[in-house]
Amino acid sequence: MDARDTEFFQKVGSAFAESMTSVFSMLTGREFQMKSEPGEMLDTAAITALHDATAILVKANYQKGLNGTLFFTLPLKEGTILVDLMLGGEGTSAEELVGDSKDALAETFNQVMGSANQTLSDLAGETFAIANVEILAIPAEAAAYAEHLGQGGFQDLRLPTTQDSLSTTVHLLLPDLLLQQIKRKFGLGEAPAAAPEPVAAPSSVSASVSAPPRQAPVASGPAVDSGNLDLLLDIQLPVVVRMGQTEMQMGELLKLTPGSILELNRSADSPVELLVNGKLIAKGEVVVVDGNFAFRITEIDTRAARIRSLA
């Protein structure tokens, strides 16, 4: 493994290990520990051999920044233990993954991918996003894996996971084409071939004439004033009015029905917050204008502070 591969696996492995540790711990209310270990290139037969019984296969389909699908796989038993912990249980395994349990695991990996993609996007300077996560129970048969994985090589990235009630290894499988895309985004693709050595001129040539160096073209037109905000005024930004927030276990979330009441972390007389692009810039109160809810600003940052907060 060369230096570029080592750097790649450190970046990608850390992104997924940290996101899974955070999400699993948050949703179960228990402390998880996870690390990453680069594995080998595997074909479908080798992936089938990772598990000696039915396993869970998670498919995450990219829709922005990358083209392709990455996969997670873990034993069914440990997958159902994880779900039981999320639903407030003590870590009891099940023989199948259906209904609310399947939905809970799908939402879990949606959050894992969202967190990991945010880290990868920051590293690459480009937004990565998936369209959806699909959860499948796959018997230990090569044909069953081939149906969903297809053919070709897969880079295995092992993610050993430990918790008091659970010890397993989650395998992150990167198809070779997707692997090469990510490496290029990180500037860690194959090194360009070295230029051939110049051939010495024959000794019979007594003199040579060198052409004068070509001048680089000079850009024409006025210089762009980086301080001119007029260029940015048409950019659309998400604006959110936040009355409060709370945290819930996955089990509580799945029990919500019409009429359920959620208690927020804000008293009734506290100001409501205005967030632009995820940054707090103002506070105020909710009012009604022509039959619609509206937001009246009572406190707001200075213009300069608002610009800095959105940078």
Per-residue pLDDT at 210: 44
Instruction: Break the chain into its structural domains and give their ranges.
Output: 3-185, 238-243+264-311
Q: Do domains 3-185 and 238-243+264-311 have the same CATH topology?
A: no
Per-residue pLDDT at 235: 73
Per-residue pLDDT at 228: 56
Residue 201 has pLDDT above 80, yes or no: no
Lowest mean pLDDT among 17-26, 153-162, 175-184, 206-215: 206-215
Per-residue pLDDT at 213: 47
Per-residue pLDDT at 190: 62
End-to-end CA distance of the chain: 38
Lowest mean pLDDT among 157-161, 175-179, 195-199, 212-216: 212-216
Provide CB contacts within 8 A for 183, sequence distance 6+: 4, 8, 189
Residue 199 has pLDDT above 90, yes or no: no
Among 3.30.360.10, 3.40.1550.10, 3.20.20.10, 3.90.660.10, name the CATH number for the domain at 3-185.
3.40.1550.10
What is the pTM for the complete model shown? Answer: 0.65
Per-residue pLDDT at 135: 94
Provide CB contacts within 8 A for 7, sequence distance 6+: 186, 188
Residue 218 has pLDDT above 60, yes or no: no
Residue 205 has pLDDT above 50, yes or no: no
| Model confidence pLDDT, tens digit, residues 227-252 | 555 656 667 778 888 888 888 787 78
Per-residue pLDDT at 54: 94
Burial class (CB in 10 A: 0-12, 13-18, 19+), 134: middle
pLDDT band at 220 (very low <50, low <70, confident <90, very high): very low
Q: What does CATH list as the number for 238-243+264-311?
A: 2.30.330.10
| Model confidence pLDDT, tens digit, residues 161-174 | 999 888 999 999 99
Mean per-residue pLDDT of the chain: 82
| Model confidence pLDDT, tens digit, residues 21-35 | 999 998 888 999 999
Secondary structure element (H or E) that encloses residue 12, with its range: helix 3-28
CB 35 within 8 A of CB 155: no
| Model confidence pLDDT, tens digit, residues 47-86 | 999 999 999 999 999 999 999 999 999 999 999 999 999 8
Residue 310 has pLDDT above 80, yes or no: no
